[in-house]
């Protein structure tokens, strides 16, 4: 199998030199022996030798992450298959094709030299008596005076891309000390890359992820005494202790691992993702404990000033209460950069506050901390200061108040803090709180409670009994009319309400054309996802019934599993298996999460979707056309296996039926075949076209819309076709895939995708042919013809500009 060019051999001479170098290193080990965990001026470490910490966790030695001619000195986790690197000494000065030697001078300077004596790196220390270098069990390389034990230098003061337990990120405004993480330039180049993770001292310390020196990518939210408020995963647990100390001039952040059987590190990788990684000492594989940023709402100021972001919203951005978009037209186009402005100007004498719960508090650059004030005192202070726009209580700093705009707020389903936002009294619906009125209301309610509660209780019992009978009647009728077709369990509404905490917003996963989707858990512990048909749903009872009838008869590993449904009163609910990794679009269109999809994972997803479609078209008891295959309708399980979902618009065909014509075209712009979008004709070849678009999106990480401002009329299909005709189609591949991929397989997938999106439906292969082509290494494939909709017409430009997360309905011509 031929790998990509970035992994091709460097030439016979380079290979020969490398083998000679290995041989010389091995011979050196035999001469000098292993120095253990300590080094003195009488010893040197040459390429091939290592220092090993006393507990065997870490080693110090030479390595090459990419080009074998570039040698680096670094600290690794010992025994890991991928030589996990924790620290690099000479990250900006590799030893180019020469033997490296690490020496400790008599006066205490640790120096890295090549065979000619050129200094590539040093600690810059001197005037030490009896200096000693030691690799500690923590992974810290320390240089101390042997007599006094004074610390002269330590690697923990010079972090690279990894934060180990006990290592500190530090900011001191008086001495200008700034210890932070810096990403590698690439997975094979440890020199400083584009991203840095720094501690900032504003009103409250926060960590900021930067790209370069001008673009903030992400921030953690203020310190709340347990962790950073924007990382709910930092809640108290038995694995970690997070520690931040400081004052208005300096701050340091570190962490401890409380479980001795576990190793953990914080990594800033080359793509700008901060990863908390853990593994048991008995296991060599690392697991993700959390990663940041993890979704669009983690992107800094994603919704602009005075906007709020939530993954439960659709779209994700909204304005804070009392605010409206500055540029409504831009917000319609999902461009939220301008943010929101107040609807009604403040009046200092009559303003009040609106509480927003479970949020990441705003950027504290324009905030002030009042550590001695409690919640009421904080409110009073903010109310009396006309420039105060919001206040909050944070466990780490007490009262925090903001002036001006509120930037980078997001809502969590769990965790977060409470933020109180200043609004004009008319936005609150009442004047400022009046203690006397509140007291009177309490007295009245208390007086009436003794009389009203028994009456209400009797009324509720009567209503519940009546509703239960009505629900049974409707459910029985539905079962009788559809029972032979459903073969599906029916849930009662009480079970669903209990499982979803009465359809709590905290359990809300998202919303589509059908209505909201909620996460739930049944009494036996099984997690479920519940789709609830809303009264003003774009879809309706027809789509609900259709989805039940279609998917209840389907069983395949690449189709989402329908567990049951509920029809009581006005409620129409579908109960599905819960898939924790949400949908494919949350990975391939996210510039950080896409890094988790290497080539093999992307290929597995393509093959899984292809097998699922083949089952629908040919191998199931029914012949089913999905009609809305797209990235957001591909769900991913815990192992990132794909499952096709959302069968509300699917159609059942007769075995011998070829196509059907409709005057009601349903689907999503960018995925529809030409004959379906323009003429209402759909068939299995309509799904094949959608599959081809999906494959190109998976390979490129781009949506099928205008992707090049200089070529305003070219969409993803147009670019793929142009690169194919010019013999440059590998350029479409997402850079996040890296270099470890077989070129021949990539070319095969692109060719299959282009065959699927050909303009004529008769030219496209069937899914059986697609699965065969993708599964055969040596398959001889036909040359594709021009794609349909490969150049954006004015109509399609307008269509592609809308969000493809929501199923839209258009009328066919």
Strand partners, 92: none
**Please, are residues 689 and 787 in contact by the beta-carbon 8 Å criterion?**
no
Selected catalytic residue, list 47, 295, 408, 628: 628
What number of H helices and E strands is found in the chain? 15, 48
Helix axes 684-700, 743-756, angle to 10 degrees: 140
Question: CA 254, CA 243: separation in Å to the nearest integer?
Answer: 5
Which residue, 771, 443, 753, is CA-closest to 607?
771
Question: CA 488, CA 510: separation in Å to the nearest integer?
Answer: 25
Question: CA 514, CA 532: separation in Å to the nearest integer?
Answer: 7
Question: CA 569, CA 537: separation in Å to the nearest integer?
Answer: 17
Q: What are phi and psi of 779, to 5 degrees?
A: -65, 135
* SS3 assignment for 140-181: CEEEEECCCCCEEEEHHHCCCCEECCCCCEEEECCCCEEECE
Burial class (CB in 10 A: 0-12, 13-18, 19+), 759: middle
**Please, are residues 748 and 730 in contact by the beta-carbon 8 Å criterion?**
no
Question: CA 732, CA 184: separation in Å to the nearest integer?
Answer: 24
Question: CA 769, CA 765: separation in Å to the nearest integer?
Answer: 6
State yes or no: cis peptide before 246, omega within 30 of 0.
no
Question: Is 628 a catalytic site residue?
Answer: yes
The region, left, alpha or beta by phi > 0 then psi within -120 to 50, assigned to residue 509 is alpha
- Three-class SS of residue 473? helix
Which residue, 743, 710, 736, 724, is CA-closest to 786?
724
DSSP secondary structure string, 254-311?
Answer: EEEE--TTEEEEEEE-TTS-EEEEEEETT----EEEEEES-SGGGSTTTT-TTEEE-T
DSSP 196: E
Q: Give me 164's structure tokens.
A: 């180990």
Q: Give me 47's structure tokens.
A: 């390429």
Question: CA 110, CA 561: separation in Å to the nearest integer?
Answer: 61
State yes or no: cis peptide before 467, omega within 30 of 0.
no
Which residues are marked as active site? Answer: 628
């Amino acid at each position: 199998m031929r790998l990509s060019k970035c992994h091709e051999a460097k030439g016979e001479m380079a290979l020969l030199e490398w083998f000679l170098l290995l041989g010389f290193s091995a011979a050196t080990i035999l001469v000098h022996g292993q120095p253990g965990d300590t080094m003195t001026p009488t010893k040197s470490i040459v390429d091939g030798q290592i220092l090993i910490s006393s507990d065997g966790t870490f080693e110090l030695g030479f390595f090459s992450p990419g080009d074998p001619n570039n040698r680096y000195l670094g600290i690794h986790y010992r025994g890991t298959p991928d030589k996990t690197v924790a620290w690099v000494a000479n990250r900006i000065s590799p030893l180019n094709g020469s033997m490296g030697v690490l020496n400790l001078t008599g006066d205490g300077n640790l120096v890295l030299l090549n065979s000619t004596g050129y200094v590539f790196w040093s600690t810059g220390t001197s005037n030490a008596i009896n200096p000693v270098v030691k690799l500690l069990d923590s992974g810290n390389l320390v240089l101390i005076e042997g007599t006094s034990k004074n610390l002269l230098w330590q690697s923990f003061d010079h972090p690279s891309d990894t934060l180990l337990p006990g290592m500190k990120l530090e900011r001191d405004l008086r001495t200008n000390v700034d210890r932070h993480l810096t990403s590698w330039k690439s997975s094979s180049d440890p020199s400083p890359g584009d991203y840095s993770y720094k501690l900032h001292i504003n009103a409250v310390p926060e960590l900021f992820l930067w790209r370069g020196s001008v673009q903030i990518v992400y921030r953690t939210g203020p310190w709340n005494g347990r962790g950073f408020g924007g990382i709910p995963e930092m809640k108290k647990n038995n694995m970690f202790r997070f520690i931040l100390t400081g004052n208005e001039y300096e701050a340091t952040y570190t962490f401890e691992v409380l479980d001795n059987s576990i190793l953990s590190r914080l990594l800033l990788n080359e793509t700008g993702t901060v990863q908390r990684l853990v593994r048991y000492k008995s296991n060599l594989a690392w697991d993700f404990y959390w990663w940041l940023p993890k979704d669009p709402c983690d992107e800094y100021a994603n919704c602009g000033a005075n906007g709020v972001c939530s993954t439960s919203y659709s779209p994700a951005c909204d304005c804070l209460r009392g605010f409206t978009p500055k540029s409504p037209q831009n917000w319609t186009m999902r461009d939220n950069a301008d943010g929101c402005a107040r609807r009604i100007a403040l009046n200092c004498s009559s303003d009040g506050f609106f509480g927003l719960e479970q949020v990441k508090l705003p950027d504290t650059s324009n905030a002030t901390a009042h550590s001695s004030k409690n919640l009421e005192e904080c409110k009073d202070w903010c109310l009396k200061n006309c420039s105060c726009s919001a206040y909050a209580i944070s466990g780490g700093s007490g009262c925090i108040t903001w002036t001006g705009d509120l930037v980078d707020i997001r809502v969590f389903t769990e965790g977060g803090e409470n933020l109180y936002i200043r609004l004009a009294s008319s936005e609150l619906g009442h004047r400022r709180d009046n203690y006397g009125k509140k007291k009177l209301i309490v007295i009245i309610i208390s007086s009436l409670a003794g009389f009203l509660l028994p009456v209400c209780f009797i009324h509720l019992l009567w209503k519940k009994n009546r509703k239960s009978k009505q629900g049974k009647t409707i459910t029985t009728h539905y079962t009788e009319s559809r029972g032979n077709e459903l073969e599906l369990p029916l849930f009662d509404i009480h079970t669903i309400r209990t499982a979803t905490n009465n359809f709590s917003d905290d359990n809300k996963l998202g919303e589509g054309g059908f209505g909201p989707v909620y996460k739930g858990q049944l009494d036996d512990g099984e997690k479920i996802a519940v789709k609830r048909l809303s009264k003003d749903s774009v879809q309706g009872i027809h789509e609900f019934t259709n989805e039940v009838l279609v998917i209840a008869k389907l069983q395949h590993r690449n189709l989402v599993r329908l567990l049951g449904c509920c029809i009581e009163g006005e409620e129409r609910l579908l109960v599905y298996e819960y898939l924790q990794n949400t949908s494919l679009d949350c990975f391939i269109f996210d510039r950080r999460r896409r890094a988790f999809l290497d080539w093999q994972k992307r290929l597995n997803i393509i093959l899984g979707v292809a097998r699922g479609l083949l089952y629908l078209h040919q191998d199931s008891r029914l012949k089913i056309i999905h009609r809305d295959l797209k990235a957001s309708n591909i769900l991913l399980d815990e192992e990132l296996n794909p499952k096709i979902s959302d069968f509300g618009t699917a159609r059942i065909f007769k075995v011998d039926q070829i196509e059907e014509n409709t005057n009601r075209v349903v689907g999503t712009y960018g995925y529809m075949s030409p004959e379906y979008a323009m003429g209402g004709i759909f068939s299995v070849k309509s799904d094949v076209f959608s599959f081809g678009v999906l494959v190109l999106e998976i390979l490129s990480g781009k949506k099928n819309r205008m992707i090049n401002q200089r070529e305003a009329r070219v969409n993803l299909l147009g670019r793929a076709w142009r690169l194919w005709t010019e013999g440059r189609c590998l350029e479409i591949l997402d850079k996040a895939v890296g270099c470890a991929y077989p070129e021949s397989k990539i070319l095969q997938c692109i060719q299959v995708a282009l065959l699927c999106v050909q303009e004529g439906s008769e030219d496209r292969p069937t899914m059986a042919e697609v699965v065969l082509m993708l599964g055969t290494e040596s398959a001889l494939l036909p040359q594709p013809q021009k794609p349909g909709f490969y150049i954006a017409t004015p109509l399609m430009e307008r269509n592609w500009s809308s969000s493809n997360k929501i199923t839209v309905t258009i009328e066919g011509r």
